[in-house]
Each structure stands twice: as C-alpha cells, then as structure tokens.
A and B are shown apart, each in its own frame.
Chain A
Amino acid sequence: MLIGLLVLLLFQFVGELFVLAVGVPVPGPVVGMVLLLGCLILKGEVPDYLRLPSEALLKHLALLFVPAGVGLMVHFKLLQADWLAILVALIVSTALTIVITGLILNRSAKKLHQMSGEG
C-alpha cells in the first residue's frame, strides 16, 4: 500500500518535471498518468501494491473536488454581472457536448458489440 502510494507520487513528480522542462500547457499529473500507463503496458500487469492505493483513491474521487468547489464563493461578484448568459451558455453547450460525443461513440460501440456477439 505504502509502496504503491510512493509510486503514484513519484510518477506525478516526474510528470511535473516534464511539464516544467518542456513547457506544455498540460498538468503534471496527466503526464504522470500517461507515463504510468506506459510502464504498466511494458510490465503487462498491475501489481497488488499499486492497485490497492489506486482503487482506494479513485473510489473517493468525488470528495477530492469539494475543496476546489467551495472556491466558487470567491467568484460570486464576477458571476453576478453575466450570470444569465453564463448559465444558459453552460447548460446548452454541456448538453450539446454530451449528445454529440455520446452519439458518435454509441454508433461504434454498437458495432463492437455486434462483432463480438454481445448483442
């Protein structure tokens, strides 16, 4: 468990270093995720010591967004000026995005199911 946590932190660290060195506008943890995925592919399996802390963290992923979410209170004044335009824009565009992404993928997912005979 402890080793796995260290592995996660080390990959995050290497990711942050990479972003700093190359100057790409991508967060360090995302780079760390890609690097860890690459290493897992090379290794061919997920060791138990890594699986345990990873699944524990992901099980409670929603909790981790609460502190940043409370930060909305700082933006109340900014939100007041254009709140209606913002709200309509966010609802319309989020719905459209889910519909378009979902429809494109659903088509290919159905094909996959037919090919593998899952119905």
Chain B
Amino acid sequence: MEFWTFFAAKPLMWLIVTIATFIVTSWFNRRIGGTPLLHPVLVSLSLIIVFLLLTGTEYETYFEGAQFIHFLLGPATVALAVPLFDHLERVKKMLLPLLVACVAGAVTAAASAVLVAQLMDAQIGTLLSLAPKSVTSPIAIGIAEKIGGYPSLASGLVLITGAIGCILAPPIYRILHIKDEAVKGFALGVAAHGMGTAFAFEYGLMAGAFGGLAMGMTGAFTAFMLPVLIPLLGL
C-alpha cells in the first residue's frame, strides 16, 4: 500500500499506464480483426477511467503524467503538412469539391445535432455545447465560450463524437460503396476531427492526409459559421 501511495503520485506511473494500456489494447484489437467498436483509443480510455475510479485517483493527478503524451498532439498536427504535401496533386484536382463537401458537412453536423437534441427537449446549455461537436477540441472550446455553451461539456462531446465517427464510418462506407481513400479520410475528418483523422491513417497515408486537411478546414469554417447559424436555429 505504501508503494502504491508513492507511485500513484508520480507522473511516471501514469505515463507508463497510458502507453502500456494502449499497446495491449492495440494488440488485442489486431487479434480480433481490427473492429472499430473496440478501437484501441476507446478501450484504453475506458480501462484507464475505470482504473482511476477504482483507485480514487483524480483526473488532475493522472494528467500530470499523461500530459507528456497529450503535448505531442501539437507537433503531430503540424506534421500533417508532410502527407498533405505528398498528395498535393490530388488535393489541387479536388479543391472545389473538397470545399463544397466541407461546408455542407460542417453545417449538417452542427444543425442536425442541435435540431435533434431540441426535439428531445435538451436544455439550452446542452444545445449550445452540442453545436461545435464535430470540431477539434481547442477550436470547439473557443466556439462554445463564444456562443454561450459550456466549454468543458463541449470538449467532452467532441471526444464522444470522435468515437462515434470511428464506429459509424466503416459500415456507412460499405453501404454507400465508398472505396476511395481520399474520400474516406476527408469525411472522417469533417465528422470526427482528430480522432477520425487518426482512424483514417489506418486506411493509409493518403486517407490520413485528407483527414487532417478536413479537420483544419472544418475547424476554421465552423468557427466563423456557428455565430451566424445559432440565431437562425432560434437559440
């Protein structure tokens, strides 16, 4: 028990737990055929949450160790420029359809989420926090603050959306006969931001590059679009 009290307070402990859990869940996911329903990110974060709750550990304590991994999201986002450059010819050829698809997707994501929740009598704070849910967390937090939602709830909804997108995308692509890597990646990036992009990299580097492009475009567009759309939805 004394060992536990000692190590539970060390950042090193939570860094090890995060990486080890992810390695095991990735291995497990490959063994059972790579189903997105048990995506390593989803399984890892569920297991770690249960572990933290069982041991009575605060999220802040956990994050002191896990922040070293979290920090790498910044340079990894910058690094998306490399696969994008590799597929620049493809991006140039599809520029106009990409813009149209991004605008249509971003408006659909925000408007349909708010309308469905409104029909089901959700509170106004929930509605405003739902609006930016398809956008990467740092942008979503900024938008929620601006339009009057709860930033903490908004960032949570962003993550759930990311998970749902990774689960729904493969069956939708099968039903609609979508086989093109670039299309698969871009739609994942529009609907499910960075988590969708990470998932798209499993289809290949090109899918990942288009996912990253979609994430950036959707984030920037939504930040300007929502303050206009929200009054139109009667909120």
- Interface on A for B, CB 8 Å cutoff? 5, 8-9, 11-12, 15, 24-30, 32-34, 36-37, 40-41, 46, 50-51, 53-55, 57-59, 61-75, 78-79, 81-82, 84-86, 88-110, 112-113
Contacts and interface: CB of A to CB of B under 8 A. Distances in A.
Interface residues of B, number: 111
Interface in B145-198: 146, 150, 152-153, 155-157, 159-162, 164-165, 168-169, 172-173, 176, 178, 180, 182-184, 186-188, 190-192, 194-195, 197-198
B80 A72 contact: no
A26 B223 contact: yes
The main secondary structure of chain B at its interface with chain A is: helix
8 nearest A-B residue pairs (beta carbon): A67-B66, A29-B77, A69-B45, A54-B79, A101-B105, A108-B97, A85-B120, A75-B156
B205 to A, nearest CB: 8
Given A63-B22, A90-B161, A98-B169, A53 B69 contact: no
A105 B100 CA distance: 9
A78 B156 contact: yes
The main secondary structure of chain A at its interface with chain B is: helix
Nearest to A26: B220
Contact of A90 (B93, B136, B164, B223): B164
